[in-house]
Amino acid sequence: MIPTPRMLVSAGIVGVIVVGGVAVAATASAGRLEFEQQRLLKTVGGTGEITPTPEPVPSNVVVRELETDPEEVGGYWTPENLEQAEPMQIPRVEVTLN
């Protein structure tokens, strides 16, 4: 098969796209790794214990501490209670695009 000029141009464009994609992926992963490394350094104290740093929470997310003991909740959900449980309504969200 003899490569035509059109085929060579197409191969060149595909090569540029692949190299660009690899460069973007490498940059993104390097930035993420650096972020996680900095977070890890912040969370590990001098005592060797891990103290998690709170992540910033978006304004549209509701956050509250649970006051119920997990063991107590686990004890409540016996096989009988699981059989009698009724599923919650799934929230419906309607979006109108202009």
Give pLDDT tens digits for 9-41. 999 999 999 998 888 788 777 777 677 777 777
| pLDDT of res. 46 | 44
> Would you say how long the chain is, in residues?
98
Place of tokens 């304004």: 59
6: its two tokens: 């059109």
| Residues of the chain above pLDDT 90, percent | 23
75: its two tokens: 């004890």
For residues 44-49, average pLDDT: 52
| pLDDT of res. 95 | 86
Is the C-alpha dihedral spanning 42, 44, 65, 88 positive or negative? positive
